[in-house]
Structure 1
Amino acid sequence: MQNKGHVVSNVKLIEVESTKQLESMITAVSRGLSQTQKSLPCWLFYDTVGSELFEKICQLPEYHITRTEKQILQAKAAEIIQGVSQDISLVEFGSGNSDKTRLLIDAILERQATLHYIPIDISSEFLLQSSIQLLTEYNRLSVTAMAAEYQAAMPILVEQSISPALILFLGSNISNFDSGEASIFLQQVGKHMSPSDRLLIGVDLVKETSIIEAAYNDSSKVTETFNKNLLVRLNREIDANFVVDQFDHWAPFIESESRIEMRLVSRIDQSVFIQETGESYNFNKDEYIHTENSYKYTITHFNEISQAAGFEIEQQWQDEKRWFSVVMLRLQLNQEK
């Protein structure tokens, strides 16, 4: 693994080149499309175009996740920050444009003179743009931006002397993991936390199916464009020849799994050739590529996952409809280092 660090417009940018980033697009695509149930990993969504499309999704009227989480943070940011240590750093996995994060930055700077913010996102260009914008808005903020996958970023965080820290994982990004993956992720984060650190997670809750499905099948078709952009990226970066319009977007809620499944459904019998894998992949009409999961939790289930990973819920905040929860986790006493 190689790390490249440099300063751009007062942003310290650390680009972590992991084995996965360097070579696994080809490997992941070849493996995923060779399975009986074809699939592609959701990290492939987030080139610069994909990141920008996702920010548009977050503004859609059907996409309750961002709006509801932001309402909670607007109402409770000061209370959230009162519950953490003084003179903290702020770390964020999957930072995006840091829009909701500004509410917490404001609350933190109400009680301390300066703040070190460490956003982590997979899209280097988008991350840098967002970080530069933050520095134009906050003269008491310093930013170390990490362009990396979550797992690759964790050991680098230790070198940043961040404790005490408030670590953010907002937007219900935890929903992209199944229960086992979520527990492993939390365990990995916990290994790098001290007793004074806190982990703040946004969790989308189980609700009426029609509300859930509307969030991923919006009427303006931005989510469709986001999903199909994955194929555009494969055409560009590994010389695939997907005919994008021969696939339909569909994201049903699978009640038995309590998850949304993002799918790209083949409209016809067709074959796709990818130059970089040297392989052709056959699709029957109505066969689909599974591109993402988004699990919906009950608080009881999320608490079980957290406890299994060595955490306990210290506090939580929900909206009036109980559609969404912002959860503060701390290490269990027997996990503290």
Structure 2
Amino acid sequence: MIVPHRNELTPVGERFALYRAPEPAVTASFADDVRSGLTAPRKTLPPKYFYDELGSALFEAITLLPEYYLTRAEAAILQRYAPAMIGALDGPIEIVEFGSGSARKSRTLIGAALDVQARVTYHPIDISPSALVACATALVGEYDRLDVAAYASDYVEVLASARLSTSKRVLALFLGSNVGNYEPREACALLRAMSAAFKPGDGLLLGADLKKDAATLELAYNDPTGVTAAFDKNVLGRINRELDGHFDLDAFAHVARYEAVRGRIESRLIAQRGMTVPIDALRLDVRLFTAESIHTESSYKFDDDDIARLAADSGFRVARRWSDDDQRFAVWLLVIE
């Protein structure tokens, strides 16, 4: 098995164990990032803090929107090519998923793996404990030959403490274009940590949104029903709930624009009036002027050259590529050298 914090895995149910990062450490990290981000000359908040229980539910709703093609395109790729993806690595595998959410993306791959081996161990990693418990409980109920060891933590902590104790190949999943939420240097550092945690011959399935026209991209991040806006504003709501903040969510507008030169969607919350917002737990007053922005997320888009460079710089090589019929999205198999 792949066991970060072996002695801290807590059995939750039959064939399901959970590691939960210590709550004070999570809270301290959130507080530190909020303080540094909202006192910077250009205000920013890390997108990983979207995903508390409410944020995870809102993102699941986003994936069902007609404008948000990414999830459907990736699901079509996985449905069509899952047997080839599982068979691309020699021998039986264990599956690790970074950012598992509801595990909707990985179910197809879990099923394909169980078609060719007697048992499968699945290691979902997600910052939301509630999402992990829900998905793992459903999975062990659905697949009687599946074991789940889940990690409620961010990727960096798990990778820093991961220890491999398996002779099987590891197939890691980093799907949903999550890699696009990192700045290029950060993405390279994260993939380098992945390659260091696993062994030569292990693989990473990397799903990423492809570069395309601005209109299609901007509509995917600006749905007319306002679900994406609620998701974006939830990071302020989380500050209110967890750090005794006093943000008026209605005083901010969600805006997402495609920057073609950088190849990324930029999401921001724009203050609709001047205000001073206390955050009591930080003993901090945040001052914003009218039309000042808080940068909440960058969503980078990719082409084959981008992925080849990222792979080479982080200890992988590109082994395979699959895409949907409309060439909107692609999944690459990267193999550790």
TM-score (norm 2): 0.95
Q: 1:33 aligns with which of 29, 38, 46?
A: 38
1:335: which partner in 2?
none
Q: 2:305 aligns with which of 300, 304, 307?
A: 300
2:103 maps to 1:89: no
8 Å contact 1:163–1:196 — kept in the other structure?
no
After TM superposition, give the deviation of residue 16 of structure 1 in Å: 2.6
Q: Matched residues, percent identical?
A: 37
2:190 maps to 1:157: no
2:144: which partner in 1?
139
2:190 maps to 1:190: no
The list of structure 1 runs, each at least 4 consecutive aligned residues, that deviate by more than 4 angstroms after superposition, is none
1:44 aligned partner, one-letter code = Y
What is the DSSP-based 3-state SS (H/G/I as helix, E as strand, rest coil) of the residue aligned with 2:332?
Answer: strand
**CA separation in 1, counterparts of 2:113 and 2:23?**
33
What is the DSSP-based 3-state SS (H/G/I as helix, E as strand, rest coil) of the residue aligned with 2:21?
Answer: strand
After TM superposition, give the deviation of residue 159 of structure 1 in Å: 4.9
1:232: which partner in 2?
237
2:278 maps to 1:289: no
2:85 aligned partner, one-letter code = I
Q: 2:9 aligns with which of 5, 10, 17?
A: 5
Q: 1:248 aligns with which of 238, 250, 253?
A: 253
2:68: which partner in 1?
63
Q: 1:172 aligns with which of 168, 177, 181?
A: 177
1:221: which partner in 2?
226
**CA separation in 2, counterparts of 1:299 and 1:20?**
38
1:106: which partner in 2?
111
**CA separation in 2, counterparts of 1:329 and 1:101?**
17
After TM superposition, give the deviation of residue 160 of structure 1 in Å: 5.3
Q: In 2 relative to 1, CA 206–161 (structure 1 residues): closer, same or farther, beyond 3 Å?
A: same
Q: Superposition RMSD on alpha carbons, in Å?
A: 1.6
8 Å contact 1:207–1:323 — kept in the other structure?
yes
Corresponding pairs, count: 332
Relative to structure 2, which stretch is displaced further, 15-24 or 68-77? 15-24
1:148: which partner in 2?
153
What is the DSSP-based 3-state SS (H/G/I as helix, E as strand, rest coil) of the residue aligned with 1:39?
Answer: coil
TM-score (norm 1): 0.95
Per-residue CA distance 1:206-251 (angstroms, 9 max, x = gap): 0011111111111111111111111111111101100110001111
Equivalent residue runs for 1:326-337 within 5 Å: 326-332=331-337
Q: In 2 relative to 1, CA 328–18 (structure 1 residues): closer, same or farther, beyond 3 Å?
A: farther
8 Å contact 2:91–2:168 — kept in the other structure?
no
- Unaligned 5+ runs, structure 1: 333-337
